[in-house]
Amino acid sequence: MAPKRKLTNEKEEAQALADQVHQWESAVLQSQQNLNNIVDIFNVAKVQGCVETSFAAINSLGRIYSALWTKGLLSRNKDSDDAAQEKVGDWLRSNYTMYTELLRGMLGSKEAPLQVGALRLLVQMLQKEGHGIQQTTNVYSFPNASFLALVDSVLDNAAASEHLL
């Protein structure tokens, strides 16, 4: 009977953590003052113990970064005179890079749902990145470097599931 109780507690803890991730996500989307919550969500995404919480965290980060691209916070603004805003933008871009690296790493996961979810999010991020570049330059520019990194990750993946390919 003890193993069943342990399994129940693990599920409850995973659900509580997933709920916390959603609260952090809501706070980030509501106010830029809560951008540090991205680090907390990222830390949950990196934990390899529970697939469900990692999946919830990478999806939350995907929604956050999509919103940040839409708001133009991830685009480089050369005309900006606000040093603080530039530092925030640099920090966000750095975290975005770590997020896409994490997703490319998840393409090598043993879990097919994580592989497919990571690929889906990487393709969405390519679209948002291209649109973000277009907003700042008024010319569409495909994010070639990001796309090539994605293709390399898929082709170099020895653990690719049939669902990924």
Per-residue pLDDT of the chain (165 residues; tens, 9 = 90+): 455 555 577 788 888 888 999 999 999 999 999 999 999 999 999 886 778 888 899 999 999 999 999 888 888 776 667 888 889 999 999 999 999 999 999 888 888 888 899 999 999 999 999 888 788 778 877 888 999 999 988 888 887 777 777
If one counts every other C-beta atom within 10 angstroms of the C-beta of residue 48, the result is 12
pLDDT for the residue numbered 158:
81
Give the whole-angstrom CA distance, residue 120 versus residue 137. Answer: 26
pLDDT for the residue numbered 104:
93
pLDDT for the residue numbered 40:
95
Give the whole-angstrom CA distance, residue 63 versus residue 42. Answer: 13
pLDDT for the residue numbered 141:
79
pLDDT for the residue numbered 6:
58
Long-range contacts of 27-34 (CB under 8 A, 24+ apart): 28/64, 29/63, 29/64, 29/67, 32/73, 32/88
Vertex 72: Cα angle to 116 and 123 (nearest 5): 15
pLDDT for the residue numbered 1:
46
Which amino acid type is present at position 158? A
- Token reading at 94: 């750095």
Q: Give the residue from 102, 101, 93 showing the smallest Cα distance to 132.
A: 93
The dihedral of CA 20, 26, 29, 35: what is its sign? negative
Residue ranges of alpha helices (H) inside 31-111 are 37-46, 51-71, 83-106
- 3-class DSSP state of 155: helix
Instruction: Identify the DSSP state of 49.
Output: S
pTM of the shown model = 0.86
Give the whole-angstrom CA distance, residue 154 versus residue 108. Answer: 8
pLDDT for the residue numbered 155:
85
